[in-house]
């Protein structure tokens, strides 16, 4: 028996983003065709120490999605004020926070493509706007 889906979403566990991510998945046409891993820091533990128990576990979850469901794309969302990184207070300013988190996102993409060169990796940055809604920026 084969169960296939196109995508794996690695997303923040933060409850503040849950409704916005669900809406975004609907808008992108990804709902119902996407495995999900929700974890504090999204890709943080994938790149921090891929050989520790958490990194090993997360990579095994990704591999399970790849083997069982033949995913073609990994989608990763990182967000501002991420508690797993210490929140906004841990950085000099919002630009420094975004720079650090996007550097980890780039590192994740490199590691994922090393293991799965045929898979596409999409990167997104989520930030709260003036209306207290979350905007999703595609990162090249």
Instruction: For the chain, give every domain's residue range.
Output: 7-139
Closest by CA to 134, choosing from 9, 19, 26, 11, is 19
Nearest-angstrom CA–CA distance, 61 and 123? 19
Contact 108, 46 (CB under 8 A): yes
Nearest-angstrom CA–CA distance, 11 and 15? 11
Judge whether residue 28 has pLDDT over 80: yes
pLDDT-based confidence at residue 49 (cuts at 50, 70, 90): confident
Question: Counting every residue, how long is the chain?
Answer: 140
Judge whether residue 2 has pLDDT over 80: no
Residue 46 to residues 82, 91, 134: CA-CA distances in angstroms?
16, 21, 24
| Residue 111 phi, psi dihedral angles, 5° rounding | -65, -40
Nearest-angstrom CA–CA distance, 112 and 119? 8
Mean of per-residue pLDDT scores for the chain = 93
Range 7-139 has CATH code 3.40.1050.10 = yes
pLDDT-based confidence at residue 50 (cuts at 50, 70, 90): low
Is the pTM above the cut of 0.75?
yes
């Amino acid at each position: 028996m084969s169960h296939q889906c196109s995508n794996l979403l690695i997303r923040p566990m933060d409850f503040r983003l849950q409704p916005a991510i669900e809406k975004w998945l609907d808008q992108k046409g990804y709902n119902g065709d996407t495995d999900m891993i929700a974890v504090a820091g999204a890709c943080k533990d994938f790149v921090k120490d891929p050989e520790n128990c958490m990194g090993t576990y997360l990579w095994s979850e990704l591999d399970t999605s790849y083997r069982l469901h033949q995913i073609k794309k990994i989608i990763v969302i990182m967000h501002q004020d991420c508690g797993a990184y210490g929140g906004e207070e841990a950085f000099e300013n919002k630009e420094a926070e975004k720079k650090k988190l996007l550097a980890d996102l780039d590192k994740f993409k490199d590691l994922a493509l090393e293991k799965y060169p045929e898979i596409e990796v999409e990167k997104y940055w989520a930030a709260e706007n003036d209306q207290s809604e979350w905007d999703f920026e595609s990162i090249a």
